[in-house]
Amino acid sequence: MALPIFIAGIAVGGLAVVAFNNREKIAGELQKGVKQAKKTVRKELDEAFKFAEKVKQELKPQKPKRAQSKKRKTTIKEDNNNAS
């Protein structure tokens, strides 16, 4: 019963030693992955902001156009009242 646990412990220890010896290579690969992830996230954020702006413009309530005010025509009655 203890033998499988002992073998698993040796395997984990061996992997730890290999990882420690190759730490620079592993760190370099992780940095490349992080740079690629940042680039992808920036691209997706830019696209998301563009899409949000487009939707915002489409959903923006459009103001009704103002009707031009027409000049009020004077009637004959008003002309007679002004004449007096």
Q: Indicate whether 21 belongs to any domain.
A: no
Q: Number of folded domains in the chain?
A: 1
pLDDT in tens, 61-75: 767 677 666 666 666
Q: Indicate whether 16 belongs to any domain.
A: no
Question: Whole-angstrom Cα distance, residue 51 to residue 57?
Answer: 10
Structural domain of 50: 32-56
Per-residue pLDDT at 82: 58
CB 19 within 8 A of CB 26: yes
Q: Which residues contact 32 (CB under 8 A, 6 or more apart)?
A: none
Of residues 68 and 16, more confidence is placed in: 16
pTM (two decimals): 0.47
Question: Whole-angstrom Cα distance, residue 44 to residue 50?
Answer: 10
Could you tell me the two tokens for 73? 């025509």
pLDDT in tens, 35-47: 999 999 999 999 9
> In this model, does residue 15 exceed pLDDT 60?
yes
Q: Indicate whether 38 belongs to any domain.
A: yes
Could you tell me the two tokens for 41? 């996230």
Per-residue pLDDT at 45: 95
